[in-house]
């Protein structure tokens, strides 16, 4: 099969076997890439029209017990200035976001043991009580089945937990004292409990190959998450990977298009990391099949402290400024902003 036929098969069957996927990644040229992104756009338009969903991201703690080699808030980075938002600061941030029109709040943080299950449950209940029309998404790492269940019962709707890489060997080299199996189990537990689940991976990690991306794509097809977050790896100066190269735009946009065809209805963000490696990165992500953007709502005083990688955009902007900027960017490439909850079209909460 030639590359174009492989793209047609992916479009029609939403599936490729490992050999075909690898062939596609190894052989895609400019002309085929254009064809791939056209198909991806066709599919996203069929399910989501021109809509781009916005999520308000609240980075509420940068304390983390883990030591991921790539991440600027890893436990052993002594240069990181640590902060935690209080529950009132979190609620005030939601209020600001609500007034700007946001109806999804993503609570993201490092794995911070200060936020016990009781504290998390309290935060979730209070947000749901004050903003009943809003979806709450958690992104706070690996927890037990019981903890995930408690947050869900408190009203959390969605959970983001990137698998980071589906290559066990690469995973182990990047995550001291963590287990690949446990991360995967967490994702299946989240699905079992009833969350809308987001997995995802980084692009351009040191020694990462197309064979590794094939593993990521096969894993995503098997898990069938409702959301997939992918973005380029970007080195952070205070990490062991400080001297490495960042992931590239072209590989990221190709993978966005492939994921759109593999999981047609998936909610797929055009990430801040993509906007960081290229000034038009997020726009190009949308043109490749992405349909979500997650602007930062965190208070301006803490923004530069949530530093996962160097050069992160929007750290000096107020939420309202980012929103205007983003709307303009989204419209400049022919899409329209939707501030609604933006659930996955297939999803119904059965609680």
Instruction: Answer for the pair 141, 178: CB distance below 8 angstroms, yes or no.
Output: no
| 162 scored as a contact of ligand 5AD (CB under 6 A) | yes
Binding mask 189-208 for ligand 5AD (x = CB under 6 A): -------------x------
Q: Give the one residue of 97, 109, 155, 231 binding ligand 5AD; rule: CB under 6 A.
A: 231
270-309 residues in contact with ligand FES (CB under 6 A) are: 295
Q: What minimum distance in Å lies between the beta carbon of 57 and ligand 5AD?
A: 10
Integer-rounded Cα Rg, in Å, for the chain is 19
DSSP 237: T
Instruction: Answer for the pair 24, 255: CB distance below 8 angstroms, yes or no.
Output: no
| 236 scored as a contact of ligand 5AD (CB under 6 A) | yes
325 binds, among ligand 5AD, ligand FES, none (CB under 5 to 8 A by kind): ligand FES
| 335 scored as a contact of ligand 5AD (CB under 6 A) | no
- Give the DSSP letter string of 231-248: EE----TTSTTTTSPPP-
| 107 scored as a contact of ligand 5AD (CB under 6 A) | no
Q: What's the sign of the alpha-carbon dihedral 34, 35, 41, 45?
A: positive
**24-52 b/e with 16+ CB inside 10 Å = b?**
bbeebeeebbebbbebbbebbeeebebbb
102 binds, among ligand 5AD, ligand FES, none (CB under 5 to 8 A by kind): none
| 268 scored as a contact of ligand 5AD (CB under 6 A) | no
In the bound state with ligand 5AD, the residue whose beta carbon lies nearer, of 11 and 236, is 236
| 21 scored as a contact of ligand 5AD (CB under 6 A) | no
68 has binding-site annotation: yes
290-309 residues in contact with ligand 5AD (CB under 6 A) are: 308-309
71 has binding-site annotation: yes
Q: Which residue has the tokens 């208070």?
A: 299
322 binds, among ligand 5AD, ligand FES, none (CB under 5 to 8 A by kind): ligand FES
Q: Of the candidates 248, 320, 328, 253, which has an alpha carbon nearest to the alpha carbon of residue 290?
A: 253
Q: Which two tokens stand for residue 135?
A: 């979806």
In the bound state with ligand 5AD, the residue whose beta carbon lies nearer, of 131 and 159, is 159
Task: Give CA–CA dist 169/174, Å, rounded.
Answer: 9
- The residue number whose beta carbon is nearest to ligand 5AD equals 309
Binding mask 136-165 for ligand FES (x = CB under 6 A): ------------------------------
DSSP 203: E
64 has binding-site annotation: yes
Judge residue 144's burial from the number of C-beta atoms within 10 Å of its C-beta, 0-12 exposed, 13-18 middle, 19 or more buried.
Answer: exposed
| 234 scored as a contact of ligand 5AD (CB under 6 A) | yes
List strands edge to edge, sheet with 336-338: 292-293, 51-54, 336-338
User: Which positions ≥6 away from 263 have C-beta within 8 Å?
Assistant: 14, 220, 221, 224, 225, 228
Tell me the number of residues near ligand FES by CB under 6 A.
Answer: 7
Q: Give the one residue of 205, 258, 314, 330 binding ligand FES; rule: CB under 6 A.
A: 314
Task: Give CA–CA dist 164/172, Å, rounded.
Answer: 11
Q: Which residues bind ligand FES (CB under 6 A)?
A: 295, 314, 317, 321-322, 325-326
Q: Which residues bind ligand 5AD (CB under 6 A)?
A: 70-71, 162, 164, 202, 231, 233-234, 236, 273, 308-309
């Amino acid at each position: 099969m030639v590359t174009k036929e492989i793209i047609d098969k992916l479009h029609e069957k939403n599936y490729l076997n490992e050999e075909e996927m690898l062939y596609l990644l190894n052989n895609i040229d400019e002309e085929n890439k254009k064809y791939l992104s056209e198909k991806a756009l066709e599919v996203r338009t069929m399910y989501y029209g021109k809509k781009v969903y916005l999520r308000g991201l609240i980075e509420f703690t940068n304390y983390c017990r883990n030591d991921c080699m790539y991440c600027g808030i890893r436990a052993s980075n002594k240069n990181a200035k640590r902060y935690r938002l209080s529950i009132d600061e979190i609620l005030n941030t939601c209020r600001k976001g609500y007034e700007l029109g946001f109806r999804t709040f993503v609570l993201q943080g490092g794995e911070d043991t200060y936020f016990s299950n009781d504290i998390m449950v309290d935060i979730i209940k209070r947000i749901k009580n004050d903003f009943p029309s809003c979806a709450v998404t958690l992104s706070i790492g690996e927890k037990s089945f019981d903890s995930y269940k408690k947050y869900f019962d408190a009203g959390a709707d969605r959970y983001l937990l990137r698998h980071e890489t589906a290559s066990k060997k690469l995973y182990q080299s990047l995550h001291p004292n963590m287990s690949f199996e446990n991360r995967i189990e967490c994702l299946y537990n989240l699905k079992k409990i009833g969350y809308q689940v987001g997995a995802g991976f980084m692009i351009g990690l040191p020694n990462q190959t197309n064979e590794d991306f094939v593993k990521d794509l096969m894993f995503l097809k098997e898990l069938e998450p409702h959301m997939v977050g992918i973005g380029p790896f970007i080195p952070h100066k205070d990490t062991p990977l400080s001297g490495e190269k960042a992931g590239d735009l072209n590989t990221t946009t190709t993978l966005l298009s492939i994921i759109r065809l593999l999981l047609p209805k998936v909610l797929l963000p055009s990430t801040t990391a993509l906007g960081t490696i290229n000034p038009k990165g997020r726009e190009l992500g949308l043109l490749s099949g992405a349909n979500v953007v997650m602007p930062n709502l965190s208070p301006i005083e803490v923004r530069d402290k949530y530093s996962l990688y160097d050069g992160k955009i929007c750290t000096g902007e107020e939420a309202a400024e980012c929103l205007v900027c983003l709307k303009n960017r989204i419209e400049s490439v022919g899409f329209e902003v939707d501030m609604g909850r933006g659930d996955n079209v297939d999803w119904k909460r059965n609680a």
